[in-house]
Amino acid sequence: MKVLIHQTPERAVRCVADILVKRLDLQPDTVLGLATGGTMEAVYARLIKAYRGGHVSFDRARSFNLDEYIGLPPDHPCSYWRYMEDRLFDHVDFGAGATCLPRGDAADPEAEAAAYERAIARSGDIGLQLLGLGANGHIGFNEPSSSLSSLTRIKTLTRSTRAANARFFDDPDDVPRLAITMGIGTILRAEEIVLLGFGEGKAEAAAAMIEGPVSASCPASALQLHDKVTVVLDQAAASRLKLREYYELVHPGGGDAVITPFQPAA
Ligand code: F6R
C-alpha cells in the first residue's frame, strides 16, 4: 500500500486528479470505477478544469460507479446518477452510454445488482478504481461486517452512514435505507485502486484501514490484500497513523518515492 500524506486537502485532491489524468493519458480507454460523496466533489472539479484546459479526455474511457440508492430514479435530485451528471458527466466528453450506474429504481434490485456485476466483468473489470472512505471504514456501501469477497448486491446502510449522508437531503428521514453497491471482491478485481480521505473525521478509519488487521469490521482494510493501492490523505486524516513518520520518509510531501542507489564508501 502506497500511503501519500499531503500538507492540505487541496494538495491531496490535486494528487488524485493527477493520477487519473496520467492514467487516461497512458490508457485512454481505461475503465474507471467512480465514487460519489463530499470527498469526490473537488476531484471532479479539478478533472473538469483539466478537461477544459485540454489536459485530459474521457472520450474513449468508460465508467462504472460504485453504488446507487435503492428507490431513487436517475432523475431524483439526490440520486448518484444526478450527482455524477451535475459534477462530472455533463461537463466532460464521455461518449454516449459510456457511463454506468446501477438503476436505483429497478423493479428487481437483486437482478439489477447481478446484471451490474456481469457488466463490469464483461468490460474486462475496472482499470482504475477511485474510492472515498466512510468514517466507519466502509468503501462503496460495503458496511462493517461485509464479506471481504462480496460481489455487487444490496446492502442496508448503517445509521451512521445515513446520518453522514443526510446533508445531501432536505429531510434526514428521506435518506434511503438500502443501496446497490459493488462488493469488496468486485473492487479488489480492479487493476489499480486510489483512495482519497481528508479531515479528522476519517483519521480513525484510515488508521484501521492501513495498519489494523484485515477484518470485515473495517471493510477498507481489505485493500491491504491488493497489490496496487495508493491511499492519499491530508495531515488530519493521517493523524492517527502509528507509522506516519515512515510513510513521510518514503514519500516526502506525498510525492514519489526517492530511490537513490546505494553508494558504497570509496
Ligand atoms: C460513494 C461511496 C462512499 C463514500 C464514503 C465517503 O459512492 O461509495 O463510500 O466514498 O461514504 O463519503 P464522503 O466523501 O461524503 O465523506
- Does pLDDT of 258 surpass 80? no
Residue 262: pLDDT band (50, 70, 90) is confident
Q: Average pLDDT, stretch 185-204?
A: 98
Nearest to residue 81, comparing CAs of 68, 94, 90? 68
Nearest CA to ligand 1 atom 11: 134
Separation of CA 76 and ligand 1 centre (Å)? 18
What value does the mean pLDDT take over residues 226-241?
Answer: 98
**260 pLDDT more than 80:** no
Per residue in 46-68, pLDDT tens? Answer: 999 999 999 999 999 999 999 99
Given this model, what pLDDT does residue 48 score?
Answer: 98
Q: Is the CB of 66 under 6 A from ligand 1?
A: yes
Q: Report yes or no on whether pTM surpasses 0.85.
A: yes
Whether 137 is in the pocket of ligand 1, judged by its Cβ within 6 Å, is no
Cα separation, 12 vs 195, in Å, equals: 10
Residues noted as catalytic: 67, 136, 138, 143
> Given pLDDT bands bounded at 50, 70 and 90, which one contains residue 265?
confident
Residue of minimum CA distance from atom 9 in ligand 1: 140
Rounded-to-integer distance, Cα 209 and Cα 96, Å: 36
Nearest ligand 1 atom to alpha carbon 67? 7
| Distance of CA 247 from the midpoint of ligand 1 (Å) | 24
Q: Work out the mean pLDDT of the chain and round it to a whole number.
A: 97
Is pLDDT of 259 > 80? no
What the chain holds in terms of domains, given with CATH numbers, is 9-228+239-254 (3.40.50.1360)
pLDDT score of 266: 73
* pLDDT, tens digit, 9 for 90 and up, residues 108-137: 999 999 999 999 999 999 999 999 999 999
Checking if the pLDDT of 14 tops 90, the result is yes
The 10 Å Cβ neighbour count of residue 96 is: 5
- The residue assigned the cell 453522514 is 164
Average pLDDT of 82-102?
98
Ligand 1 pocket check for 132: Cβ under 6 Å: yes
Mean predicted confidence (pLDDT) in 9-22: 98
Give DSSP secondary structure letters for the chain: -EEEEESSHHHHHHHHHHHHHHHHHH-TT-EEEE--SHHHHHHHHHHHHHHHTTS---TT-EEEESEEETT--TTSTTSHHHHHHHHTGGGS-PPTT-EE---TT-SSHHHHHHHHHHHHHHTTS-SEEEE---TTS-BTTB-TT--TT--SEEEEPPHHHHHHHGGGSSSGGGS-SEEEE--HHHHHTSSEEEEEE-SGGGHHHHHHHHHS-SBTTBGGGGGGG-SSEEEEEETTTTTT-TTHHHHHHHSGGG------------
Ligand 1 centroid, distance to 61 Cα (angstroms) = 22
| 73, β-bridge pairs | none
